Structure 1
């Protein structure tokens, strides 16, 4: 079973999702709990376990605005926030990642991520434009996720073979199970390591650009309204209180005749961390985008 899985991982003819199910079965038989847990997360997705999302499931794209006359044009933000705005975490099950790759290949190598309607409104206010902004992610970024999972499985089976863990048919001895647990430790430690990959820059229709203007207090007021809604949805008392404190700080700055940008910036960064910790909440996801836009405008002011 080990050598069969190793051969399939090497030859690359078997889909990664099928390889993953076989690796999951193998890890269950060998009672390698850590590898089993990783395989389960890859099969079922990380939506409820975002704190365990490995680095290789982070993808990067290029922000673009849709100009009705010139097509997609680059949308630029201050350098210190460009990386944050270009980054997306990918928690879906591996089968969905495979589907994204198929869709991307059909769409000339790029996948389009649309920001929420609330975020679009913030973009429009800041840029004084009606252009819709979206994130364009090269399909190669999703292929990198699949390649990483395939490589982890291949590396694991090679390690098992080196330790003499081959099994007889579908069964393994007690000694083989013990060796498997020890040899897997290194693999698990390295799973979170980031794979270096070059981002494909798509420069078509780039004769025009969209730039975000400086910070505006009305955009902060809109965010505060969204944060008050989020307060009602948070069930964790400590997190709820923390958010309430930051909202109070922001409200005081909105009312102040001389608002301090440094205080606003610090409060926004705290709000961003709170929103990131509220996994699985649609409103929190939208708020993260809005906060990034406000931080970007502060960076450019």
Structure 2
């Protein structure tokens, strides 16, 4: 059961209160430290994905692990939000099969298995899940709005960043999104939080707006600033090498020094969003 439902009869407070959570956790910590036995506490989470109840629970324990996924998909991600004795950059990706959870050893191309052909508004971006590169498909749909106020919807991506990218495209490219609805989706139920996906989402929006698909074999990543510059991101070499192994032949990446072995791929370094869009669509 969860720690929020555990009860210590020595306290005259209800289960789940600050005092109960603190005392129950303290007794379990004392047991773990004195015996050397690892203790796992299960905690409820809120709709926002944060641990329910008092924040002191996170401060008392040594490690906080979050196991998340979408009920519509079979994939689950295990993340370390806190680790007092190790790195929090590691993550585990699992697939729910008939016999239980199975580890996905090479998740880089996990979300590209059902992708076939080119389509306007679809762009592949290289994201990092912990320290593992994952190639995710970003889809955008730009359609004329039947209402006075255009709609903005984002699934698996930050809604505020979508609005920011739309404003940048309007300012830098003169694209008028004021009469268009804009929808952004990350295929496979994946949730992407890192800014390196900005360039892929912006390219998907331009592709759908112009109704022009990207040529096959292009992989993009990079953070987009408010002035339209494309900023560096972490681990570009790992993203590129995993992309090469998956068959990508052209990479649109931020302008930075890359320590790469010789690869049979075209690597285009860009400094601005204008250069990136020109390199993708010609």
TM score, norm. by length of structure 1:
0.26
TM score, norm. by length of structure 2:
0.27
Q: Could you say which structure has the higher helix fraction?
A: 1
